[in-house]
Structure formats: structure tokens, C-alpha cells
Chain A
Amino acid sequence: MTAKDNKGRTYRKVRSYYPIGVDLDGYMRYGAWQIKELVDLTLQPRTVQKERMIFEFDKSVESADVTVNVYYYISGKKGSIIYTKKRHLVFE
């Protein structure tokens, strides 16, 4: 997700969910034959993953455009946006 304030500054926060290529002992496991047990950071079935993120702007900022994009990556190189939500915020 990104926030761009009226001064032109961009802020970015990312959350990722995937089985990382590292096993429970901390060894890299990328080859299909090497994968036995990986640290699991995926979204688990029948659960809701709740995230709360706070962007803090400079005191003089009057407005910001905030965008939340959900990307799905079928591989490390190929990702697609599956959901987007945007909002223009005005700080009075």
C-alpha cells in the first residue's frame, strides 16, 4: 500500500504471504527436491488475516492519496493486481 502526500512524498508499506524458501532449521531450500519443510507465511484457510498500518505524515501535510493494492504472484516475476482500494484524504 502507498500514500502520496500533497508535498509529493511517497510512503510505502508491504505485507507478503508465502512459504519462504528456508526450512525450519534456517537452511535455504529452493530446489523442488530440497523442499521438505518450509517456514510458512501463507494465508491459512478459513481464517481472516487482519492488518493495520499507519502512515504518519509531516505536520504541514494537508492531503494524501492512499492506495491499497492486493497483488497475486504466480511466480517471483509475474504478479497481477487482484484488488484495489483508493481514498483521497484531507487533513483539516
Chain B
Amino acid sequence: MKILKWMLPFLVIFLSVTVSMAEEADTIDDLLRMYDETTCRDCHPDQYNQWQESFHARAVVSSLKGMNNFFAIGVPKEWERKITKVEVLKCLDCHAPVVNYASEKLAVEIAGMIINAWTNKDEKAKKELSRLNVGCLACHNIKATAPARGLLGEPERGTIYTPNMVISPAHKTEPVNTMNKSLFCAQCHGRYVSSDGEQIMCNTLSGSYYNAYVSQGGSETCQDCHMKKNNRGHLFPGGHDLEIVKEGIGFTAEIRGVRHTVGKWIPRAIVNVDLENRAGHRIPDG
């Protein structure tokens, strides 16, 4: 009893440390409170407004079909597994990285909401899911250090990681040299390795970027074309934007009419077309 009395404060300290290290949200409200982005919007309205128009802002609701298929067919029927957080994160680690901080229960609930939103066209579930996306903190915190975890460590809650050297007085700012590199985007726009080792290649931009563009002397980064050029910023236009699609594809065509083959003089149209891929990756890709 005496020993227990002495140990009690240590037990309490130990337990509280364990709880704070493993802080997980049980509801989407709690999750979004943990990673609140309203202050980002208030101080950086231009970037926020651009982002709102981007596909990053609707990364869950614009991909319901594929995720529904995974959670309703792939996991339970093809793999004969239960839906767990590990399975949920195979989609949402990229489509809504904040779900990394969801409890097991909430992660499974989110998968259920995705199935419901797609299969039953449940607008309430879809509205709730629209709050999950690739938000400010997905890049500027949750995923910021991952390409160089050994050097930079785990992301620190409340710190804003940035590729710029401007230190904001409004929050703790940590300049990192990972965020302006293609490898940063390739975490999701490339071959993805999940926590259990499953390799997912639902889009493979980085493969052709490194192996067919950089290897051929290409030197522009994802950020150069999709953010810096034409002040695209946080709109990150891609395949859904015809302006950037046309920028990436050069086109010439020559159409000529002839009659040939001596003695027959058959009319023919000869069409020569050149399509130049001017992008830093294969076209199309995701």
C-alpha cells in the first residue's frame, strides 16, 4: 500500500504523458479543432481563397467513388479484411492527412460515411466529409517533414513549416527545404507506401517525373509549374484545368490532299500530327 502511495504521482504523470502523446479525436469536430485552420484563413486570405478553389480543398468529396470502392469492395470482399484505421489511411493519409489524428473509431466511421455518401447519395454525410481535405496544415505541418524525417523529425503541433525564410510573429515558423521540392508532392502524387507496407500506385506522376523527365535533363519542379508559373499559387491547377493542360501539350498538324498511285489516281488525305509532351511527367496522369 505504501509503495502504491509513492508510485501514484508517477503513475499519474506517466498516464498523462501517454494520453497527450497519443491524442486522437473521436469526432470530426474534435479533429478539426485539433488542426484548426481558421487563423490561416484570417491572416492569409489570398492563399486561402486560392486553395478553396483547388482540388486539394475537395480532395475527399471529389474522390468518393474510388474510396467507396476500396472500403466497400476492396478491403472487405477482395482482401477479406475488416475496415480499420490502417486501411482507412491508405486513402485518407493523402486525401485528408488530418485523419492520422483520428481515433480508430472515428477513422472507421469516416469510411462508413464515404460508403454512405457514395452508395446512398447521403448529402448529410457528403457535407460532413467536405470538411476533410488537403488543408493548410496538411502541407504546412502534418506532411511537412516527412520527406526528411530523419533530419527534421516529427512535425510539431502548432508549428507552421514553410519553404520561405520569412518568420511570422503570429505563430512558430520553421523554414524547411523539403516543401519546395518535387519529392514533397511525390509523397502523395506518386507511389505510396502505407504503414503496413502495401504499395499503392493509384497515381504515379513521380515515376515519370524522375525516370523520364529529370533523367532526360528536365529541371523544373512540381511547384515551378503548378504554383509559381502564372501566379498559380495555392490553386495548384492540374488535369482539371485546360489552360495548364494546353501548356503541357504542344500540337502541330499538316493536312495534305493528293491523288497518287500511277494509273489509278486515288484521292488521299495525308495527315501528319506532332504531339509534344512539354510537362515534367507523362500525360495523362494523376
Contacts and interface: CB of A to CB of B under 8 A. Distances in A.
Interface string B263-286: 011111111111111011111110
Contacts of B269: 3, 54-55, 57, 64, 66, 89
Contacts of B85: none
Contact of B70 (A3, A31, A53, A82): A31
Interface stretch (B5-13, B159-167, B243-251): B243-251
A51 B255 CA distance: 12
Interface in B84-134: 90-91
B280 A45 contact: yes
A58 to B, nearest CB: 8
A61 interface: yes
A22 interface: no
B73 interface: yes
Given A32-B69, A46-B277, A55-B269, A89 B202 contact: no
Chain B: number of interface residues, binned into ranges: 35 or more
A32 B69 CA distance: 8
Interface string A38-59: 1010111111111111111111
A34 interface: yes
B74 interface: yes
A72 to B, nearest CB: 5
B245 A89 contact: no
A28 B83 CA distance: 24
Nearest to A81: B242
Interface string B221-258: 00000000000000000011010011001110101111
A24 interface: no
A18 B239 CA distance: 13
Given A33-B79, A43-B277, A83-B253, 4 more contacts: A46-B213, A59-B265, A68-B253, A86-B255
30 contacts: A19-B204, A19-B284, A31-B70, A31-B74, A32-B74, A33-B90, A33-B200, A33-B202, A34-B78, A45-B281, A45-B283, A48-B275, A53-B273, A56-B268, A57-B267, A57-B268, A59-B264, A61-B267, A68-B271, A70-B249, A72-B242, A74-B239, A74-B284, A80-B242, A82-B245, A82-B246, A82-B251, A85-B255, A89-B255, A89-B256
- 10 smallest beta-carbon distances between A and B, as pairs: A89-B257, A32-B202, A91-B267, A87-B255, A42-B282, A45-B213, A43-B277, A83-B251, A85-B253, A55-B269
